[in-house]
């Protein structure tokens, strides 16, 4: 039986022992081996949202539910992350900075689709955008190696790919539209 409370405790213990994402990645991977247990514990998503599960200065766990067809602009986290999909699909485009660009422009550098039961680590310096390409809600557990809600980071204009300060309020509004 998978327990959200035990999952949080295991992540907390792992971060206390090792500040890297490696042990947390194993915990998320193990949880996603039977995604139906995670779904049962967090509940069937009925609307999109960013639902905090745990937050501290060195660890944040969020239940992220993506709307059908939703895309979020390129952004960074300034901390490692591990993503596990318990229902649906999340497509990530990875970006890299254009060398010496005065506006902080980025260019596409790769992509990865994550489906139900899959997990993936994201490095501290990674820039990515996310799309839910399917016609139903996608649910994912996101674990961050820091305080996701308080960190200063960047987002990139989706049309011009220029860098700006991350606007958490704007992002949260995207989930509620």
Reported as a single tens digit per residue, the pLDDT across 83-116 is 999 999 999 999 999 999 999 999 999 999 999 9
Give the pLDDT confidence of 1-12 residue by residue, as tens digits: 899 999 999 999
pLDDT at 177 exceeding the cut of 80: no
Domain membership of residue 79 as a residue range: 4-176
Task: CATH number of the domain at 120, please.
Answer: 2.60.120.10
Give residue 176's pLDDT band: very low, low, confident or very high (50, 70, 90).
Answer: confident
pLDDT tens digits, 152-175: 999 999 999 999 999 988 988 998
At 74, the pLDDT band (50, 70, 90 cuts) reads very high
Closest CA to 172 of 62, 92, 87: 62
Residue 91 near residue 80 (C-beta atoms within 8 A): no
Average pLDDT of span 124-137:
97
Q: Is 122 helix (H, G, I), strand (E, B) or coil?
A: strand
Q: Where are the beta strands (DSSP E) in 12-70?
A: 49-56, 59-66
**How many domains are contained in the chain?**
1
Instruction: Provide the pLDDT for residue 107.
Output: 97
Q: Is the pLDDT of residue 76 over 90?
A: yes
The pLDDT tens digits of the residues spanning 134-150 come to 999 999 999 999 999 99
Report whether 7 contacts 42 (CB < 8 A): no
Element (H, E) at 39: helix 35-42
List, edge to edge, every strand of the sheet that includes 59-66. 49-56, 59-66, 138-144, 81-87, 119-122
> Considering the entire predicted model, what is its pTM?
0.94
- Judge whether 10 and 110 are in contact, CB under 8 Å: no
pLDDT single digits (tens) 21-62: 999 999 999 999 999 999 999 999 999 999 999 999 999 999
Contact 105, 99 (CB under 8 A): no
Three-class SS state of 146 = coil
Q: Does the pLDDT value for residue 20 go beyond 90?
A: no
57 CB-contact burial (10 Å; exposed 0-12 / middle 13-18 / buried 19+): exposed
């Amino acid at each position: 039986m998978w327990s959200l409370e035990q999952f949080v405790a295991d992540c907390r213990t792992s971060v206390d022992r090792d500040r890297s994402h490696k042990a947390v990645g194993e915990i998320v991977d193990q949880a996603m081996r039977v995604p139906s247990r995670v779904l049962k514990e967090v509940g069937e998503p009925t609307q999109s949202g960013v639902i905090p599960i745990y937050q501290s200065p060195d660890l944040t766990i969020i239940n992220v539910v993506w709307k059908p067809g939703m895309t979020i602009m390129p952004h960074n986290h300034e901390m490692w992350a591990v993503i596990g999909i318990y229902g649906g699909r999340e497509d990530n485009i990875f970006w890299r900075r254009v060398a010496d660009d005065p506006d902080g422009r980025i260019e596409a550098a790769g992509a990865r689709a994550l489906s139900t039961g899959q997990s993936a680590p994201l490095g501290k310096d990674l820039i990515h955008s996310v799309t839910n390409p399917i016609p139903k809600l996608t649910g994912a557990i996101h674990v961050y190696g820091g305080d996701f809600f308080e960190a200063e980071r960047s987002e990139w204009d989706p049309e011009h790919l220029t860098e700006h300060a991350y606007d958490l309020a704007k992002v949260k509004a995207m989930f509620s539209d």
